[in-house]
Amino acid sequence: MEQVNIEEIVKQVLSEMKGSAGSQAAAPARSAAPAGAIPKTSRVAMLTGLENYDIKEYPIPELGDDDILVKVEGCGVCGTDAHEFKRDPFGLIPVVLGHEGTGEIVKMGKNVKVDSAGKPLALGDKVVTCMIFKDNPDITMFDLNKQNVGGADVYGLLPDDDIHLNGWFADYLVVRGGSSIFNVSDLDLDSRILIEPCAVLIHAVERAKTTGILRFNSRVAVQGCGPIGLICIAILRTMGIQNIVAIDGEQKRLDFAKELGASASVNFKDHKGIEELTEAVKDAFGGYLADFAFQCTGSPVAHANIYKFIRNGGGLCELGFFINGGDATINPHFDICSKEITTVGSWVYTLRDYATTFDFLKSAKQIGLPINKLITHKFPLDQINEAHHTNLRMEGLKIAIINE
Ligand SMILES: NC(=O)c1ccc[n+]([C@@H]2O[C@H](COP(=O)([O-])OP(=O)(O)OC[C@H]3O[C@@H](n4cnc5c(N)ncnc54)[C@H](O)[C@@H]3O)[C@@H](O)[C@H]2O)c1
Ligand SMILES: [Zn+2]
């Protein structure tokens, strides 16, 4: 498999995009809607140094004919935000982060009529943006970085520009014409904040389905019960898959995995060595190995382990390494060839996966999965440093910034 160095790619994307973001936002001013009670300025949480956000205030600019002003209601803290907060690997500082955000349209340029799915947009609608843009609904972030550099309008992951209202950790966001935006007024606030991480798993499950191995009656192992693994379990349940074994070392997370639909769980800390752990996974499936497994940790050891849990002829979706997590040691003969394992990798999502995600969130609620409980902590914008430290201490699952 080709190895992708995401940090290099992102740096390249950014260097080619710099300069264009500000000029787009400075388009001629005209709006179809009255200004109403929109304030003259907006607060933003600007990451100005490592582990330090400052709350800054900037004028809300005039909108271009294709632009949208969104009043931010909330935004999730993502692993990528945590990386930026701690190390700035992409060299973005100063930057307004926050890409898992949602809010209400309070002003629109006169040309704005529909969202990226063709659904009408109106004042008062609740929206999310998507990092994948609309000219190709099937484009993945991998293709985006390779081919579409310069065409993207990404919010919360670009260095600051002269408008400043370009990330969701803020009171207001200016969504520029041509960006991917969706009307999600029929979802509650917590669900809307969970859309972006859920889209990652919709994509992973779509990738898994290409193997032809994932079926209604499959035995599925999900290794890693952070937000990513937990959402994976919930999606499998909404698809009608019943036989799911969750594997992690944190009992609280394993217990929640059961609430979200896992039929059994295995705490790897209770078992010494890979043979004993494999037996425990087998026992949890009633004496069988998994037909299919999702690897949802960023641990190379966990990657090496997971092949042992899969039956001959089974399948694996590896999605745990959003960034380079180091090398894993496996035995290609025993782990892949002789077992005839079909493996797929999964990274980010497509625009189409985004739309599927809205339906997943509704289905999860309909069958009673407590998906909103994934958001364990909520902080106001001015406590964003504390929110990030809570995230780094791994005290909860999904941490969110919620505006009043
Ligand atoms: N493919 C993508 O597009 C994509 C997108 C987002 C995140 N990710 C990656 O997915 C991974 C999981 O994300 P998250 O937010 O759930 O992270 P997380 O750190 O909250 O969860 C990881 C879980 O794995 C468990 N774990 C660690 N080592 C283990 C082992 N050996 N066996 C079993 N469990 C083990 C941990 O206890 C933890 O609960 C991260 O590495 C992240 O980078 C990938
Ligand atoms: Zn994210």
Point out the residues of the chain with pLDDT beneath 70: 1-36, 133-152
Residue 229 Cβ inside 6 Å of ligand 1? The answer reads: yes
- pLDDT for 151: 47
Q: How far is the CA of 68 from the centre of ligand 1 (A)?
A: 35
Q: How far is the CA of 27 from the centre of ligand 2 (A)?
A: 29
Positions of CATH 3.90.180.10 in the chain: 6-185+370-402
Residue 84 Cβ inside 6 Å of ligand 1? The answer reads: no
- pLDDT for 138: 65
The answer to whether 92 touches 154, Cβ cutoff 8 Å, is no
Residue 267 Cβ inside 6 Å of ligand 1? The answer reads: no
Average model confidence (pLDDT) for the chain? Answer: 89
**Helices then strands (H, E): number in the chain?**
11, 16
Q: How far is the CA of 220 from the centre of ligand 2 (A)?
A: 25
Residue 249 Cβ inside 6 Å of ligand 1? The answer reads: yes
| Superfamily designation of domain 6-185+370-402 | Medium-chain alcohol dehydrogenases, catalytic domain (3.90.180.10)
| CA gap 147, 149 in Å, rounded | 6
Please give the helix or strand (H or E) that residue 69 lies within, else none: strand 68-76
Choosing among 3.40.50.720, 3.40.50.20, 3.90.1150.10, 3.40.50.620, the CATH entry for 198-345 is 3.40.50.720
Positions of CATH 3.40.50.720 in the chain: 198-345
User: What's the distance, CA 278 to chain centroid?
Assistant: 30
- pLDDT for 20: 36
| CA gap 295, 306 in Å, rounded | 7
- pLDDT for 37: 87
What is the per-residue pLDDT across 282-323, written as a single tens digit (0 to 9) for each? Answer: 999 999 999 999 999 999 999 999 999 999 999 999 999 988
- pLDDT for 29: 37
- pLDDT for 192: 98
Backbone φ and ψ for 107, nearest 5 degrees, come out as -160, 140
Coil/strand/helix, residue 161: coil
Q: Name the token pair of 327.
A: 């090398």
- pLDDT for 2: 39
Atom of ligand 1 nearest to the CA of 394: 20
- pLDDT for 14: 43
Backbone φ and ψ for 54, nearest 5 degrees, come out as -115, 140
Alpha carbon distance, N-terminus to C-terminus of the chain: 46
Backbone φ and ψ for 240, nearest 5 degrees, come out as 95, 5
The answer to whether 256 touches 222, Cβ cutoff 8 Å, is no
Q: Is 323 exposed, middle or buried (0-12, 13-18, 19+ CB in 10 A)?
A: middle
What is the per-residue pLDDT across 12-55, written as a single tens digit (0 to 9) for each? Answer: 544 444 433 333 333 333 344 444 589 999 999 999 999 999 99
